[in-house]
Structure 1
Amino acid sequence: MTDDDPRSPKIVLGVDGSGHADAALEWAAAEAERTGRPLDIVLALPMPIVVMSEGPTRPSATQQLIAHGEQTLSAAADRVRGLFPAARVEVSLVMDDPAPALLERAGHDDLLVVGSRGLGALRSAVMGSTSVRLAARAHCPVAVVPEKWAHAGRRNRTVVGVDGSEASLHVLRFALGRAREDGSAVTVVHSWEMATPFAPEALAASGWTPPEELLEQRSGELVAGMFEEVGDEAEGVDVSVVRSRQAPERALLAEAENADLVVVGSRGRGGLRGLFLGSVSQAVLHGAEVPVVVIPHRAEEHPETLPWSGGTD
């Protein structure tokens, strides 16, 4: 593919000029230089809807606002070039709200990058921040970079959460593909909780104990089956497996403390597909101190683009 081909994979970064996305800009720029993909820096300039007697209307942006937006984009592009001279940078000023603007710019084989600003614990998946809405609705992977993340101190390790579903196969493939490129190790996390119709304390008092060996065996079979599915995609990658009885989000966040990246799916087993970001994914986004990549549940619609992590062909 040529650089001018609109189908060429790219990295799309959303900025707002506030400075809260500085970490996301640095991470996206490093990815652009590493993969050879162009970096498209997007600033959405939404104008508020004004309700008038004749109905709601959205005024046009003033030349002053447009000029400020262009200056913001120019400064972001200059910073990228200063940090990573080999990165190819494009800028886009879009007259729209941030979420639809970014979704419109990104194709299914691109990578969307945003900062985690606004990921409040009381926000819902639908009415919350741009980050959560993008991760729930995008057709491509979405990387959410914490505001306090720093590029220094690389641990050379990626953590990936799996649950045996078809969607988590795509999550695993993304993590393995990226690890093959940058030489990082991959830690696969599978955890389970046993739901019972009685309070755990009452069961323990009656002498009941969970069938640990059976659960361990089934977890091992599940992970082994997933690696059979991915086949030689794991060749050359240093892979370790963590199986845990902790809640999935706790297990992932514990492993993330010594990692550079966490990869999760937008939906696991049993979710309402396409409406909300899964509870585990949301918890990891809220709690992780490293970038989190969310792989969309729509991945199976475009299997030919997997694992998305590759550089230029």
Structure 2
Amino acid sequence: MSSNGAAAIVVGVDGSSSSLDAAGWAARAAELRGAALKLVSAYQVKALYTSFVTLPAHIGSQERAAADKILAGASLVARRSVLAPDGLSISVDALVGPTIQAMIDQSSDASMIVVGTRGNGEYFAEVLGSVSTAISAQAHCPVAIVPRSVAIESGRSTVVVGVDASTGNQRSIQLAFEEASLQGTGLVAVHVSSETSTGRSVLAECLAGWGEKYPQVAVTRTVLHGNVVENIVELSQRARAVVIGSGGRRSGISDRLLGSTVRSLAHRVDCPLIIAR
């Protein structure tokens, strides 16, 4: 499948098995969307020579060579992960600097940023597992956090979306419907509330109109009680992806899915976690 002009999906790789799994998932996501794939590896030069306006060519050559090797390996993984390898447009970029800032900068022109849940700190100042939460909070586009050894399983027949009444909620709902449509699965829309009637009202209001836009997606509305994370983790066991918002009202689900909670979900769900931005 060739690119149809959609913004590229950008995936951060550091040589770890988790980042390679993320590259494979990102390649499949790009193929489904007809988008290009961009592989990025950020590295830092160990020796800094402040007396030079521009660093001599040999300074940082080992770090750059390591990053190039990582990118080459990730490119092979990406092509092997798609149905039509020759049709996937892949570019690579080795960037000097901290991983967090590099990925945030890349997110300005990307349709999605993809990172793994665990990383390899041998060549980098930060491992991907430690920066995924920061990237999801600061990126300018949706962020997908991919668990290690993620696989496409026929038994996983849904996409799960957390729903609340926040103003930014529509973006996560849109992403969830798009993902379910692309994956050919149903959608489970869940609201965690202490009152069943209130939860049903929130779901009805927030989902209004989306069924008409995506008639091929079967939607199940679910109101659950108790801990948000535990409920999402439970539902993720049957999901191909979980979609959540990046912020919401004080009483909603999204504001409880920030910071440490996003980190908790990223390390506990066994399917990709997509954070709407």
Q: TM-score range by the shorter chain?
A: 0.7 to 0.9
Secondary structure at 1:250 match in 2:
helix
Offset of residue 263 of structure 1: 0.4
Tell me by how many angstroms 1:4 deviates.
Answer: 10
Query: Number of paired residues?
Result: 257
SS in 2 for 1:140: coil
Task: Report the TM-score when normalising by structure 1.
Answer: 0.73
When the two chains are superposed, the root-mean-square deviation of aligned CA atoms in Å is 3.0
Alignment of 1:223-234 (within 5 A): 223-228=203-208, 230=210, 232-234=212-214
The partner residue of 1:40 within 33, 38, 41 is 38
SS of the equivalent of 1:20 reads helix
**Correspondence 1:250 to 2:226:** no
Name the amino acid aligned to 1:135: S
For residues 118-137 of structure 1, the C-alpha deviation after alignment (integer angstroms, 9 at most, x for no partner) is: 6xxxxxxxxx8110110111
- Please identify, of 165-174 and 43-52, the stretch whose mean Cα deviation from structure 2 is larger: 43-52
1:169 CA drift (Å): 1.8
Question: In structure 2, do the counterparts of structure 1 residues 232 and 108 end up closer, same or farther at CA, with 3 Å as the change threshold?
Answer: farther
Aligned to 1:27: 25
- With 228-237 and 285-294 compared, the bigger mean Cα shift is at 228-237
Whether contact under 8 Å (1:248, 1:280) holds in the other structure is: no
Whether the aligned pair in 1 keeps the contact of 2:47 and 2:59 (CA below 8 Å) is no
The residue number in structure 2 matching 1:300 is none
> CA offset at residue 108 of structure 1?
5.9
Which residues of 2 match residues 130-209 of structure 1 at below 5 A?
Answer: 130-153=131-154, 155-193=156-194
Measured against aligned partners, the alpha-carbon deviations of 1:31-59 in whole angstroms (never above 9, x if no partner) come to: 1111111100000012358799x9xxx99
Matches within 5 A, 1:107-122: 107=108, 110-117=111-118
Native 8 Å contact 2:46 2:60 kept in 1: no
Paired AA for residue 101 in structure 1: A
**Structure 2 CA distance for partners of 1:20 and 1:180, relative to 1, 3 Å:** closer
What's the CA shift string for 1:185-239, capped at 9, x where partnerless? 000110124xxxxxxxxxxxxxxxxxxxxx2211111110112254623422100
Separation (CA, whole Å) in 1 of partners of 2:168 and 2:234: 23
Say which SS state the counterpart of residue 158 (structure 1) adopts: strand
Alignment of 1:68-147 (within 5 A): 68-84=66-82, 85=85, 86-107=87-108, 110-117=111-118, 129-147=130-148
Contact 2:45 2:63 survives alignment (8 Å): no
1:283 aligns with 2:264: yes
Percent identity (aligned): 28
Shift of 1:61: 4.6
Question: Partner letter of residue 244 of structure 2?
Answer: V
Shift of 1:261: 0.5
Which residue number in structure 2 is paired with residue 17 of structure 1? 15
- Using structure 2 for the length normalisation, give the TM-score: 0.82
* Structure-2 change in CA distance of 1:152 and 1:23 (3 Å): farther
Give the deviation of 1:246 after TM superposition.
1.8
Q: Distance in 2 between matches of 1:265 and 1:4?
A: 27
What is the deviation of 1:241? 1.1
Distance in 1, Cα, partners of 2:113 & 2:212:
27
Structure 1: runs of 5+ lacking an equivalent: 119-127, 194-214, 297-313
Distance (Å, rounded) in 2 between the aligned partners of 1:61 and 1:81: 32
Aligned to 2:276: 295
Question: Which string of whole-angstrom CA distances, capped at 9 and with x for unpartnered residues, describes residues 63-88 of structure 1?
Answer: 22212221221121122223321322
In structure 2, C-alpha distance between the alignment counterparts of 1:9 and 1:268, rounded to whole Å? 26
CA gap of 1:220–1:103, structure 2 versus 1, over 3 A, is: same
**What letter corresponds to residue 91 of structure 1 in structure 2?**
V
For residue 309 of structure 1, what is the aligned residue in structure 2? none
One-letter code aligned to 1:11: I
What is the CA-CA distance between 1:152 and the residue it aligns to?
4.3
